[in-house]
Structure 1
Amino acid sequence: MHLQPLQQARPASRELALFDDSVFALYLGQAAARIFTHGSICHLTSGESLTLGGPQRLTVVLEGVLITDSGWQGPGCHMIGDGTCYRVKSDTASVWVLDRGAVGWQGPGLQALHFALEMALAAAGRALEAAIPPDDLPDPETLSDVNHPQILRTAARLRRTSEAATADAVFRFVQAMPYRFGNWQERASDTLARGNGMCTTKANLQVTLMRAAGLEAGFVEMPMSMAVLGKLMPSAWLAMMRPTVRHYFGAVKLGGRWHAADSSYNDDSMGIYLESFPDYAHLLPARLFDGQPYSPTAEKNGMDPFDIHVVPHLNAEMSKKSRFTPAHFEALNTRLDRAQGSWRNWVAEDHPDLGANLRSVS
């Protein structure tokens, strides 16, 4: 079913909040609310279809899942019209649509919004391109590339006069990196170069650096409730997530016993948790000492951070194929990117004044 005309959008707080969680709105900054009012909202139910239209048509999925024979789009994803027809897989779905050829969008005084839109699309495109993994993924056996020159140089720089001090230095170095959802079949040296990662890739980098520094290190698996992890995601994604997921982090042996050492979340991403779980406040700043492990997940689960099962690698887990594409991961990251400032990596690459322009449009 081809649904036209679309219902004119209202500045409804819920719909605007869903739009604000999109990748497109992340890069629009303060222009997002004004551009939102120039679009239309389309509500669909299971089995209905939506045709994207021509290249002047910009569509943002607000909630629900749209599918084609070649893939699917989830909340926060945006698409330029190319005639593709999507079907609604979820019970309901809603999309925001902007017709850039419409008279209302071509009216006087909108040049600043036009500029913000084009620059936001360009920045989102650069971010997506950087998130796409190579066609030939590395052999899982090579993921902990402890002998890579940059790994060895970084480990040497982080080495201290004692094992405990070295472990803490490595832990805090990796912990300070932004947390972002993404591809997890990535070598430690690639995560180091990227400068961010999710639980598996940050754990892999941490363990690899600790081993390169002469420490005994390994990996831990622990259950995590989506009621906790979901705080880092846009709310529209939660209905598609499992109630419990497996969380992975590093561990290091100090004083003859294993210490949980979870470097997954930096202080900014932990700040998102603190909004809902103020009892986490004592976990910042994150530190690791001999006799003092660090594991927010163990504490939340009521588990002993010393009573952990440590394995030598995560090769099998990190070689599994994700059901999410890089575009899905970018949409999952918008709340994290705002908290951690990660969007700044892409807004100024070609246009040094872009960040200021996107934030100043009123």
Structure 2
Amino acid sequence: MDFDAEPWDYLGADEAVDVEHPVVQTLAARLRTGDDRAFAEAAFRYVRDEVTHCVDAGDRRVTWRASDVLEQGTGFCYAKAHAFVALLRAGGIQAGLAYQRLRDGDRFVLHGLAAALIDDRWVLLDVRGNKPGIDVEFSADEDRLAFVPDAALGERTYPTVHAAPHPVVLDALRSSDDALALAASGLPGEL
């Protein structure tokens, strides 16, 4: 993995990963009942299971700020990753954002992931949410992804862990007020 910032930046806050927000702080404190591994798993399960993927749920709301994702209980994979990263950082775990380029019919779309430093090892974790055909569990020992890129199709997992959401992703989320319309034709396909 490559990193686009200094180590301490993976504990910091920004507009989308609003670590200091009371909603984030309160939930992180509630989930923090054990060591880093137990906390990371609790946060993973919470975001994966309690925050719906807006497209899976048919929810038109577009969220992008971690606190809004947690309050409204919905978001794209990117937004869910923002929420997961904010919770981890609020609990003192270094975390960042990562992306995949995946084929969706005749186009590429970006898929959002989280990366976390757990037990001195960075792992990629996918909190998009399970559904038929997708079953992702937590692991502190290896990457766990909902989608395995097929290089022959031009798919890939980008190697960089970002301290803040990529501007291409944030611009797409901010520019829409309809998640289903955004999913149909407006998701970014390339970093």
What's the TM-score, normalizing by structure 1?
0.40
Residues 1:161 and 2:161 are matched in the alignment = no
Q: Which amino acid is 2:67 matched to?
A: S
- Distance in 2, Cα, partners of 1:174 & 1:221: 17
1:241-260 equivalence runs, <5 A: 243-260=107-124
Is the CA contact (8 Å cut-off) linking 1:143 and 1:185 kept in structure 2? no
- Distance in 2, Cα, partners of 1:225 & 1:311: 22
* Residue 249 of structure 1, CA deviation: 1.1
- Distance in 1, Cα, partners of 2:141 & 2:156: 12
Q: Which amino acid is 2:181 matched to?
A: F
Residues 1:289 and 2:163 are matched in the alignment = no
Q: 1:226 to 1:315 in 2, by over 3 A?
A: closer
Bigger fraction of residues in helix: 1
Is the CA contact (8 Å cut-off) linking 1:218 and 1:313 kept in structure 2? yes
Residue 150 of structure 2, aligned match among 271, 281, 301: 301
Is the CA contact (8 Å cut-off) linking 2:37 and 2:140 kept in structure 1? yes
Residues 1:215 and 2:93 are matched in the alignment = yes
In structure 2, the gaps of 5 or more residues are: 1-12, 185-191
SS in 1 for 2:122: strand
- Distance in 2, Cα, partners of 1:152 & 1:313: 18
- Distance in 1, Cα, partners of 2:144 & 2:52: 18
- Distance in 2, Cα, partners of 1:327 & 1:263: 18
Percent identical across equivalent pairs? 25
* Residue 187 of structure 1, CA deviation: 1.6
* Residue 290 of structure 1, CA deviation: 2.1
- Distance in 2, Cα, partners of 1:191 & 1:311: 19
1:1-362 equivalence runs, <5 A: 141-176=14-49, 177-181=51-55, 186-227=64-105, 243-264=107-128, 266-267=129-130, 270-271=131-132, 274=133, 284=135, 286-297=136-147, 299-301=148-150, 308-314=159-165, 316-321=167-172, 325-326=177-178, 328-329=180-181
SS in 1 for 2:142: coil
Q: Which amino acid is 2:28 matched to?
A: A
Structure 1 vs Structure 2 CA RMSD: 3.0
Larger Rg: 1
- Distance in 2, Cα, partners of 1:186 & 1:328: 15
Q: Which moved more, 1:322-331 or 1:287-296?
A: 322-331
SS in 2 for 1:320: helix
Is the CA contact (8 Å cut-off) linking 2:138 and 2:144 kept in structure 1? yes
- Distance in 2, Cα, partners of 1:318 & 1:184: 12
Is the CA contact (8 Å cut-off) linking 1:165 and 1:289 kept in structure 2? no
* Residue 160 of structure 1, CA deviation: 3.1
- Distance in 1, Cα, partners of 2:109 & 2:156: 19
Q: 1:300 to 1:319 in 2, by over 3 A?
A: closer
